[in-house]
Structure 1
Amino acid sequence: MTYQAAVFDLDGLLLDTEKVCMQAFRDACEALSLPMLEDVYLGIIGCNAQGIERVIQTGYGADLDYPRLRNKWMSLYHPIIEQQEIPKKEGVVALLEWLTSQKIPIAVATSSHQKEASAKLKLSGLDNYVSSLSTGCEVTHGKPDPEIYLLAAQRLNIPPAHCLAFEDSSNGVRAAVAAGMQVHQVPDLVKPTDDIIALGHNIDDSLLNVLNHLQAAQK
Protein backbone atom coordinates (compact mmCIF):
# COMPACT_ATOMS: atom_id res chain seq x y z
CA MET A 1 0.00 0.00 0.00
CA THR A 2 1.41 3.36 -1.03
CA TYR A 3 -0.05 6.70 -0.03
CA GLN A 4 0.89 10.33 -0.40
CA ALA A 5 -1.84 12.06 1.63
CA ALA A 6 -4.36 11.45 4.40
CA VAL A 7 -7.97 12.67 4.40
CA PHE A 8 -9.96 12.59 7.63
CA ASP A 9 -13.60 12.91 8.47
CA LEU A 10 -14.12 15.14 11.51
CA ASP A 11 -17.18 14.35 13.62
CA GLY A 12 -17.08 10.99 15.36
CA LEU A 13 -13.66 10.24 13.90
CA LEU A 14 -11.23 12.93 15.06
CA LEU A 15 -13.56 14.44 17.66
CA ASP A 16 -16.16 12.83 19.91
CA THR A 17 -18.80 15.16 18.49
CA GLU A 18 -21.54 12.74 17.52
CA LYS A 19 -22.60 12.05 21.11
CA VAL A 20 -22.81 15.79 21.79
CA CYS A 21 -24.91 16.37 18.67
CA MET A 22 -27.21 13.46 19.44
CA GLN A 23 -27.84 14.71 22.98
CA ALA A 24 -28.68 18.16 21.63
CA PHE A 25 -31.16 16.57 19.23
CA ARG A 26 -32.68 14.55 22.06
CA ASP A 27 -33.05 17.69 24.18
CA ALA A 28 -34.61 19.57 21.25
CA CYS A 29 -37.15 16.79 20.74
CA GLU A 30 -38.05 16.87 24.42
CA ALA A 31 -38.43 20.66 24.38
CA LEU A 32 -40.79 20.44 21.41
CA SER A 33 -42.70 17.38 22.71
CA LEU A 34 -41.45 15.20 19.86
CA PRO A 35 -40.40 11.56 20.16
CA MET A 36 -36.70 10.75 19.98
CA LEU A 37 -36.53 8.36 17.02
CA GLU A 38 -33.02 7.03 17.49
CA ASP A 39 -33.03 4.86 14.35
CA VAL A 40 -33.95 7.90 12.27
CA TYR A 41 -31.28 10.01 13.94
CA LEU A 42 -28.54 7.43 13.34
CA GLY A 43 -29.38 7.56 9.64
CA ILE A 44 -28.16 11.16 9.39
CA ILE A 45 -24.61 10.45 10.52
CA GLY A 46 -22.18 11.40 7.78
CA CYS A 47 -24.80 13.41 5.84
CA ASN A 48 -24.56 17.09 4.93
CA ALA A 49 -27.34 19.57 5.78
CA GLN A 50 -29.55 18.62 2.83
CA GLY A 51 -29.19 14.92 3.57
CA ILE A 52 -29.96 15.44 7.26
CA GLU A 53 -33.17 17.30 6.43
CA ARG A 54 -34.24 14.62 3.98
CA VAL A 55 -33.66 11.74 6.42
CA ILE A 56 -35.34 13.42 9.39
CA GLN A 57 -38.30 14.72 7.39
CA THR A 58 -38.87 11.26 5.92
CA GLY A 59 -38.45 9.53 9.25
CA TYR A 60 -40.73 11.84 11.22
CA GLY A 61 -43.29 12.35 8.47
CA ALA A 62 -44.65 15.23 6.43
CA ASP A 63 -46.28 16.87 9.46
CA LEU A 64 -42.92 17.60 11.09
CA ASP A 65 -41.99 21.28 11.20
CA TYR A 66 -38.35 20.59 10.39
CA PRO A 67 -37.12 24.23 10.44
CA ARG A 68 -38.53 24.63 13.97
CA LEU A 69 -36.85 21.41 15.13
CA ARG A 70 -33.55 22.31 13.49
CA ASN A 71 -33.54 25.81 14.99
CA LYS A 72 -34.04 24.41 18.48
CA TRP A 73 -31.48 21.65 17.89
CA MET A 74 -28.81 24.03 16.63
CA SER A 75 -29.51 26.53 19.43
CA LEU A 76 -28.46 23.81 21.85
CA TYR A 77 -25.58 22.41 19.77
CA HIS A 78 -23.78 25.51 18.48
CA PRO A 79 -22.92 27.08 21.86
CA ILE A 80 -21.11 23.86 22.75
CA ILE A 81 -19.06 23.41 19.60
CA GLU A 82 -18.31 27.11 19.18
CA GLN A 83 -17.13 27.68 22.75
CA GLN A 84 -15.91 24.37 24.14
CA GLU A 85 -13.17 21.97 23.16
CA ILE A 86 -14.71 18.67 22.07
CA PRO A 87 -12.77 15.64 23.38
CA LYS A 88 -10.48 14.03 20.83
CA LYS A 89 -10.88 10.37 19.98
CA GLU A 90 -8.26 7.86 21.08
CA GLY A 91 -5.05 7.98 19.07
CA VAL A 92 -5.86 11.14 17.12
CA VAL A 93 -2.82 13.21 18.12
CA ALA A 94 -0.43 10.26 17.89
CA LEU A 95 -1.59 9.45 14.34
CA LEU A 96 -1.51 13.07 13.18
CA GLU A 97 1.94 13.57 14.69
CA TRP A 98 3.24 10.47 12.95
CA LEU A 99 1.78 11.39 9.57
CA THR A 100 3.29 14.86 9.94
CA SER A 101 6.68 13.35 10.75
CA GLN A 102 6.38 11.27 7.56
CA LYS A 103 5.67 14.49 5.61
CA ILE A 104 2.20 13.24 4.63
CA PRO A 105 -0.17 16.18 4.00
CA ILE A 106 -3.39 16.01 6.00
CA ALA A 107 -6.84 17.16 4.89
CA VAL A 108 -10.27 17.10 6.49
CA ALA A 109 -13.41 16.27 4.47
CA THR A 110 -16.46 16.85 6.65
CA SER A 111 -20.18 17.18 6.10
CA SER A 112 -20.23 20.05 8.61
CA HIS A 113 -20.41 23.67 7.52
CA GLN A 114 -17.17 25.64 7.16
CA LYS A 115 -17.71 27.81 10.25
CA GLU A 116 -18.57 24.85 12.47
CA ALA A 117 -15.70 22.70 11.24
CA SER A 118 -13.15 25.49 11.59
CA ALA A 119 -14.29 26.23 15.14
CA LYS A 120 -14.08 22.58 16.17
CA LEU A 121 -10.59 22.17 14.72
CA LYS A 122 -9.31 25.38 16.29
CA LEU A 123 -10.74 24.74 19.75
CA SER A 124 -9.32 21.21 19.74
CA GLY A 125 -5.90 22.37 18.54
CA LEU A 126 -6.06 20.10 15.50
CA ASP A 127 -6.08 22.93 12.98
CA ASN A 128 -2.27 23.05 13.10
CA TYR A 129 -2.11 19.63 11.47
CA VAL A 130 -4.59 20.30 8.66
CA SER A 131 -3.43 21.76 5.36
CA SER A 132 -6.83 21.66 3.64
CA LEU A 133 -10.46 21.71 4.78
CA SER A 134 -13.38 20.67 2.57
CA THR A 135 -16.89 21.02 3.98
CA GLY A 136 -20.43 19.95 3.23
CA CYS A 137 -21.51 23.42 2.12
CA GLU A 138 -18.96 23.32 -0.71
CA VAL A 139 -20.35 20.30 -2.55
CA THR A 140 -23.56 19.63 -4.43
CA HIS A 141 -23.85 16.01 -3.32
CA GLY A 142 -23.05 14.99 0.25
CA LYS A 143 -21.74 11.66 1.48
CA PRO A 144 -22.24 8.84 0.44
CA ASP A 145 -21.50 10.57 -2.86
CA PRO A 146 -17.70 10.77 -3.38
CA GLU A 147 -17.72 14.47 -4.33
CA ILE A 148 -16.26 15.79 -1.08
CA TYR A 149 -13.42 13.27 -1.12
CA LEU A 150 -12.63 14.03 -4.74
CA LEU A 151 -12.57 17.73 -3.82
CA ALA A 152 -10.18 17.06 -0.94
CA ALA A 153 -7.84 15.10 -3.22
CA GLN A 154 -7.98 17.84 -5.83
CA ARG A 155 -7.02 20.48 -3.26
CA LEU A 156 -4.11 18.33 -2.11
CA ASN A 157 -3.13 17.77 -5.76
CA ILE A 158 -2.86 14.05 -5.02
CA PRO A 159 -4.71 11.32 -7.00
CA PRO A 160 -7.49 9.77 -4.86
CA ALA A 161 -5.93 6.31 -5.24
CA HIS A 162 -2.87 7.60 -3.39
CA CYS A 163 -4.89 9.00 -0.47
CA LEU A 164 -5.71 7.30 2.80
CA ALA A 165 -9.24 8.08 3.99
CA PHE A 166 -10.35 7.80 7.61
CA GLU A 167 -14.05 7.53 8.46
CA ASP A 168 -16.43 6.44 11.18
CA SER A 169 -19.79 6.37 9.39
CA SER A 170 -21.22 4.09 6.73
CA ASN A 171 -22.09 7.09 4.53
CA GLY A 172 -18.52 8.33 4.80
CA VAL A 173 -17.04 4.94 4.00
CA ARG A 174 -19.21 4.62 0.89
CA ALA A 175 -18.07 8.07 -0.23
CA ALA A 176 -14.36 7.38 0.30
CA VAL A 177 -14.52 3.94 -1.34
CA ALA A 178 -16.39 5.40 -4.33
CA ALA A 179 -13.66 8.05 -4.62
CA GLY A 180 -11.10 5.26 -4.95
CA MET A 181 -9.24 5.96 -1.72
CA GLN A 182 -7.63 3.47 0.68
CA VAL A 183 -10.16 3.49 3.52
CA HIS A 184 -9.78 2.91 7.25
CA GLN A 185 -12.99 2.89 9.28
CA VAL A 186 -13.18 3.41 13.03
CA PRO A 187 -16.91 3.02 13.82
CA ASP A 188 -18.49 5.38 16.34
CA LEU A 189 -22.25 5.34 17.07
CA VAL A 190 -23.17 3.06 14.17
CA LYS A 191 -21.50 -0.31 13.67
CA PRO A 192 -20.81 -1.43 10.08
CA THR A 193 -23.44 -3.69 8.56
CA ASP A 194 -22.65 -6.68 6.36
CA ASP A 195 -22.97 -4.61 3.18
CA ILE A 196 -20.43 -2.09 4.50
CA ILE A 197 -18.02 -4.81 5.60
CA ALA A 198 -18.31 -6.33 2.12
CA LEU A 199 -16.68 -3.21 0.65
CA GLY A 200 -13.38 -4.71 1.76
CA HIS A 201 -11.86 -1.72 3.51
CA ASN A 202 -9.96 -1.75 6.81
CA ILE A 203 -11.99 -1.65 10.03
CA ASP A 204 -10.30 -0.86 13.36
CA ASP A 205 -11.32 -0.19 16.95
CA SER A 206 -9.38 3.07 17.24
CA LEU A 207 -7.06 5.40 15.36
CA LEU A 208 -4.30 4.16 17.64
CA ASN A 209 -4.73 0.70 16.13
CA VAL A 210 -4.69 2.25 12.66
CA LEU A 211 -1.38 3.94 13.52
CA ASN A 212 0.09 0.63 14.69
CA HIS A 213 -0.93 -1.02 11.41
CA LEU A 214 0.52 1.80 9.28
CA GLN A 215 3.79 1.70 11.20
CA ALA A 216 3.99 -2.08 10.94
CA ALA A 217 3.42 -1.91 7.18
CA GLN A 218 6.56 0.22 6.83
CA LYS A 219 8.80 -2.40 8.42
Structure 2
Amino acid sequence: MRKKAVIFDMDGLMFDTETLGYQAQGELAEEMDLPIAFDFDYYLKQVGRSDKDVMPELASDFGDAELAERFLKRMKERQTGIASEKGLPIKKGLYDLLAFLKEEGVICVVASSSRRKEVSFYLELADISQYFRYQVCGDEVSFAKPNPEIFLSAWKPLGIPKEDCLILEDSLNGIRAAYDAGIEVIMVPDLIVPDDEAKAKTIAILPDLHAVMDWLKEK
Protein backbone atom coordinates (compact mmCIF):
# COMPACT_ATOMS: atom_id res chain seq x y z
CA MET A 1 0.00 0.00 0.00
CA ARG A 2 1.18 3.53 -0.75
CA LYS A 3 0.04 5.35 2.40
CA LYS A 4 2.58 5.82 5.19
CA ALA A 5 0.17 6.98 7.91
CA VAL A 6 -3.50 6.63 8.78
CA ILE A 7 -5.33 9.08 11.05
CA PHE A 8 -8.32 7.53 12.81
CA ASP A 9 -11.36 9.29 14.16
CA MET A 10 -12.65 7.42 17.22
CA ASP A 11 -16.35 7.80 18.07
CA GLY A 12 -18.51 6.04 15.53
CA LEU A 13 -15.50 4.83 13.55
CA MET A 14 -13.58 2.52 15.89
CA PHE A 15 -16.27 2.12 18.54
CA ASP A 16 -20.04 2.40 18.59
CA THR A 17 -19.82 5.11 21.23
CA GLU A 18 -22.43 7.18 19.41
CA THR A 19 -25.11 4.65 20.37
CA LEU A 20 -23.82 4.67 23.96
CA GLY A 21 -23.98 8.47 23.97
CA TYR A 22 -27.53 8.50 22.67
CA GLN A 23 -28.57 6.03 25.37
CA ALA A 24 -26.82 8.05 28.08
CA GLN A 25 -28.41 11.31 26.90
CA GLY A 26 -31.88 9.82 26.88
CA GLU A 27 -31.54 8.39 30.38
CA LEU A 28 -30.19 11.63 31.84
CA ALA A 29 -32.70 13.85 30.06
CA GLU A 30 -35.45 11.95 31.84
CA GLU A 31 -33.67 11.77 35.20
CA MET A 32 -32.80 15.49 35.20
CA ASP A 33 -36.20 16.54 33.81
CA LEU A 34 -34.57 18.66 31.11
CA PRO A 35 -36.63 21.32 29.28
CA ILE A 36 -36.15 19.90 25.76
CA ALA A 37 -36.86 16.63 23.97
CA PHE A 38 -33.73 14.58 23.31
CA ASP A 39 -34.75 12.76 20.17
CA PHE A 40 -32.43 11.10 17.66
CA ASP A 41 -32.30 14.12 15.34
CA TYR A 42 -31.20 16.33 18.23
CA TYR A 43 -28.40 13.91 19.07
CA LEU A 44 -27.25 13.73 15.44
CA LYS A 45 -26.52 17.46 15.52
CA GLN A 46 -23.81 16.76 18.12
CA VAL A 47 -22.08 13.91 16.28
CA GLY A 48 -18.46 14.63 15.37
CA ARG A 49 -18.26 17.76 17.53
CA SER A 50 -16.28 18.54 20.68
CA ASP A 51 -17.80 19.28 24.10
CA LYS A 52 -16.52 22.86 23.82
CA ASP A 53 -18.31 23.27 20.50
CA VAL A 54 -21.59 21.73 21.69
CA MET A 55 -21.76 23.52 25.06
CA PRO A 56 -23.05 26.95 23.88
CA GLU A 57 -25.96 25.32 22.03
CA LEU A 58 -26.90 23.17 25.03
CA ALA A 59 -26.71 26.20 27.31
CA SER A 60 -28.99 28.13 24.96
CA ASP A 61 -31.47 25.26 24.63
CA PHE A 62 -31.53 24.65 28.39
CA GLY A 63 -31.59 28.35 29.24
CA ASP A 64 -28.99 27.55 31.90
CA ALA A 65 -25.23 27.24 31.22
CA GLU A 66 -24.52 25.57 34.56
CA LEU A 67 -27.20 22.94 33.93
CA ALA A 68 -25.77 22.27 30.45
CA GLU A 69 -22.27 21.82 31.84
CA ARG A 70 -23.52 19.47 34.56
CA PHE A 71 -25.52 17.47 32.03
CA LEU A 72 -22.59 17.06 29.64
CA LYS A 73 -20.27 15.96 32.46
CA ARG A 74 -22.78 13.39 33.72
CA MET A 75 -23.44 12.17 30.18
CA LYS A 76 -19.75 11.36 29.63
CA GLU A 77 -19.63 9.56 32.97
CA ARG A 78 -22.78 7.59 32.16
CA GLN A 79 -21.46 6.71 28.71
CA THR A 80 -18.16 5.32 29.99
CA GLY A 81 -20.04 3.56 32.78
CA ILE A 82 -22.24 1.74 30.26
CA ALA A 83 -19.13 0.72 28.29
CA SER A 84 -17.41 -0.59 31.43
CA GLU A 85 -20.45 -2.52 32.61
CA LYS A 86 -21.84 -3.90 29.35
CA GLY A 87 -18.74 -3.87 27.15
CA LEU A 88 -17.48 -1.52 24.47
CA PRO A 89 -19.03 -2.18 21.04
CA ILE A 90 -16.08 -2.55 18.64
CA LYS A 91 -16.61 -1.69 14.99
CA LYS A 92 -16.29 -4.54 12.51
CA GLY A 93 -12.77 -5.01 11.18
CA LEU A 94 -10.97 -2.72 13.64
CA TYR A 95 -8.56 -5.31 15.04
CA ASP A 96 -7.80 -6.79 11.63
CA LEU A 97 -7.15 -3.35 10.13
CA LEU A 98 -4.82 -2.30 12.95
CA ALA A 99 -2.88 -5.58 12.71
CA PHE A 100 -2.56 -5.16 8.94
CA LEU A 101 -1.31 -1.59 9.22
CA LYS A 102 1.23 -2.62 11.85
CA GLU A 103 2.54 -5.40 9.60
CA GLU A 104 2.83 -2.91 6.74
CA GLY A 105 4.75 -0.44 8.90
CA VAL A 106 2.05 2.21 8.59
CA ILE A 107 1.92 4.80 11.38
CA CYS A 108 -1.46 5.09 13.11
CA VAL A 109 -2.68 8.22 14.91
CA VAL A 110 -5.97 9.17 16.59
CA ALA A 111 -7.65 12.54 15.99
CA SER A 112 -10.83 12.61 18.07
CA SER A 113 -13.25 15.35 19.08
CA SER A 114 -13.55 13.64 22.47
CA ARG A 115 -11.50 14.73 25.46
CA ARG A 116 -8.21 12.95 26.17
CA LYS A 117 -9.76 11.38 29.26
CA GLU A 118 -12.37 9.57 27.16
CA VAL A 119 -9.97 8.74 24.32
CA SER A 120 -7.49 7.10 26.70
CA PHE A 121 -10.30 5.23 28.47
CA TYR A 122 -11.75 3.71 25.30
CA LEU A 123 -8.39 2.84 23.72
CA GLU A 124 -7.32 1.06 26.89
CA LEU A 125 -10.68 -0.68 27.30
CA ALA A 126 -10.37 -2.04 23.76
CA ASP A 127 -6.68 -2.89 24.36
CA ILE A 128 -5.46 -1.04 21.26
CA SER A 129 -3.43 1.86 22.70
CA GLN A 130 -0.21 0.19 21.55
CA TYR A 131 -1.18 0.54 17.89
CA PHE A 132 -1.19 4.35 17.95
CA ARG A 133 1.89 6.54 17.98
CA TYR A 134 -0.04 9.40 19.58
CA GLN A 135 -3.47 10.99 19.92
CA VAL A 136 -4.76 14.52 19.33
CA CYS A 137 -7.95 15.19 21.28
CA GLY A 138 -10.78 17.70 21.25
CA ASP A 139 -9.71 19.42 24.45
CA GLU A 140 -6.23 20.05 23.02
CA VAL A 141 -7.18 22.15 19.98
CA SER A 142 -8.74 25.59 19.67
CA PHE A 143 -11.31 24.75 17.01
CA ALA A 144 -13.57 21.72 16.60
CA LYS A 145 -14.37 19.83 13.41
CA PRO A 146 -15.31 20.87 10.73
CA ASN A 147 -12.33 23.18 11.27
CA PRO A 148 -9.27 21.27 9.98
CA GLU A 149 -7.06 22.14 12.97
CA ILE A 150 -7.26 18.74 14.66
CA PHE A 151 -6.23 16.86 11.51
CA LEU A 152 -3.44 19.32 10.72
CA SER A 153 -2.22 18.90 14.31
CA ALA A 154 -2.29 15.11 13.89
CA TRP A 155 -0.52 15.22 10.52
CA LYS A 156 2.26 17.76 11.16
CA PRO A 157 4.39 15.70 13.64
CA LEU A 158 4.46 12.82 11.15
CA GLY A 159 6.83 14.79 8.94
CA ILE A 160 5.46 13.30 5.73
CA PRO A 161 3.66 14.82 2.72
CA LYS A 162 -0.12 15.01 3.00
CA GLU A 163 -0.49 12.69 0.00
CA ASP A 164 1.16 9.91 2.05
CA CYS A 165 -1.51 10.23 4.73
CA LEU A 166 -5.10 8.94 4.92
CA ILE A 167 -7.94 9.91 7.27
CA LEU A 168 -10.77 7.56 8.30
CA GLU A 169 -14.01 9.27 9.36
CA ASP A 170 -17.69 8.52 9.91
CA SER A 171 -19.15 12.02 10.30
CA LEU A 172 -19.80 14.82 7.83
CA ASN A 173 -18.05 17.33 10.09
CA GLY A 174 -15.00 15.08 10.11
CA ILE A 175 -15.06 14.73 6.34
CA ARG A 176 -15.25 18.50 5.93
CA ALA A 177 -12.30 18.92 8.30
CA ALA A 178 -10.22 16.34 6.44
CA TYR A 179 -11.07 17.86 3.06
CA ASP A 180 -10.14 21.37 4.20
CA ALA A 181 -6.90 19.98 5.69
CA GLY A 182 -6.00 18.76 2.21
CA ILE A 183 -5.73 15.11 3.25
CA GLU A 184 -7.55 12.25 1.51
CA VAL A 185 -10.39 10.77 3.55
CA ILE A 186 -12.45 7.58 3.46
CA MET A 187 -15.90 7.59 5.02
CA VAL A 188 -17.12 4.58 6.98
CA PRO A 189 -20.72 5.62 7.76
CA ASP A 190 -22.17 5.14 11.22
CA LEU A 191 -25.23 7.25 12.10
CA ILE A 192 -24.80 9.74 9.27
CA VAL A 193 -26.05 8.67 5.84
CA PRO A 194 -23.61 9.79 3.10
CA ASP A 195 -24.96 12.70 1.06
CA ASP A 196 -23.69 14.36 -2.12
CA GLU A 197 -21.20 16.46 -0.17
CA ALA A 198 -19.74 13.38 1.53
CA LYS A 199 -19.43 11.62 -1.82
CA ALA A 200 -17.69 14.63 -3.37
CA LYS A 201 -15.17 15.10 -0.55
CA THR A 202 -14.10 11.47 0.02
CA ILE A 203 -12.00 9.10 -2.07
CA ALA A 204 -14.20 6.17 -1.03
CA ILE A 205 -17.23 5.33 1.10
CA LEU A 206 -16.91 1.84 2.56
CA PRO A 207 -19.24 -0.21 4.78
CA ASP A 208 -16.79 -1.15 7.53
CA LEU A 209 -13.13 -1.18 8.56
CA HIS A 210 -12.58 -4.64 7.10
CA ALA A 211 -13.54 -3.18 3.73
CA VAL A 212 -11.03 -0.38 4.35
CA MET A 213 -8.31 -3.01 4.84
CA ASP A 214 -9.27 -4.75 1.59
CA TRP A 215 -9.28 -1.38 -0.21
CA LEU A 216 -5.79 -0.55 1.06
CA LYS A 217 -4.45 -3.96 0.05
CA GLU A 218 -5.40 -3.20 -3.54
CA LYS A 219 -3.49 0.09 -3.60
Q: What TM-score results when the alignment is normalised by the length of structure 2?
A: 0.90
Give the match for residue 118 of structure 1: 120
Partner Cα distance (1:37, 1:54) in 2: 19
Indicate the residue corresponding to 2:195 in structure 1. Answer: 193
Q: Distance in 1 between matches of 2:77 and 2:7?
A: 30
Provide the rounded CA distance (Å) in 1 between the counterparts of 2:132 and 2:147.
23
Paired position in structure 2 for 1:17: 17
- The one-letter code matched in structure 1 to 2:54 is I
Q: Which residue of 1 aligns with 2:31?
A: 31
CA displacement 1:86-114 (0-9 Å, x = unmatched): 12100111111111111011000001111
Letter in 2 for 1:19: T
Q: How does 1:82-121 map to 2 (within 5 A)?
A: 85-121=87-123
**How many Å separate the matches in 2 of 1:72 and 1:99?**
36
Q: Is the 8 A contact 1:186 1:204 kept in 2?
A: yes
| SS, match of residue 187 in structure 1 | coil
8 Å Cα contact 2:4-2:164 kept in structure 1: yes
* Alpha-carbon spacing, 1:45–1:39, altered in 2? closer, same or farther (3 Å): same
Question: What SS does the corresponding residue of 2:197 show, helix, strand or coil?
Answer: helix
Shift of 1:173: 0.9
Distance 1:200 1:113 in 2: 26
Q: Deviations over 1:159-185 (max 9, x none)?
A: 333211001111111111111111111
- Residue 36 (structure 1) shift: 1.4
Q: CA deviation at 1:17?
A: 1.1
User: 3-state DSSP class of the match of 2:201?
Assistant: coil
Measured in 2, the distance between the counterparts of 1:151 and 1:68 equals 29
Two-structure CA RMSD over aligned residues (Å): 2.0
> Which of 55, 58, 71 is equivalent to 1:56?
58
Aligned 8 A contact 2:186 2:202 in 1: no
* Change beyond 3 A, Cα 1:37–1:146: same
Q: CA deviation at 1:115?
A: 1.5
Q: 1:155 aligns with which of 150, 157, 171?
A: 157
In structure 2, relative to structure 1, the CA distance for the partners of 1:186 and 1:68 (3 Å cut) is same
Q: How many angstroms does 1:79 deviate by? A: 2.5
> How big is each residue's C-alpha offset from its partner over 1:115-145, in whole Å with a ceiling of 9 and x where there is no partner?
1101110110111111111101110001111
Change (3 A) 1:32 1:191: same
Distance 2:87 2:128 in 1: 11
8 Å contact from structure 1 (residues 5, 163) kept in 2: yes
Alpha-carbon contact 2:146-2:173 (below 8 Å) kept: yes
Q: Secondary structure at the match of 2:191?
A: coil
Distance of 1:106 and 1:96 partners within structure 2: 8
Q: Is the 8 A contact 1:41 1:56 kept in 2?
A: no
Q: Structure 1: which 5+ residue stretches go unaligned?
A: none
Please name the residue that 1:129 is paired with. Answer: 131
Counterpart of 1:32, as a letter, is M
Number of equivalenced pairs: 216
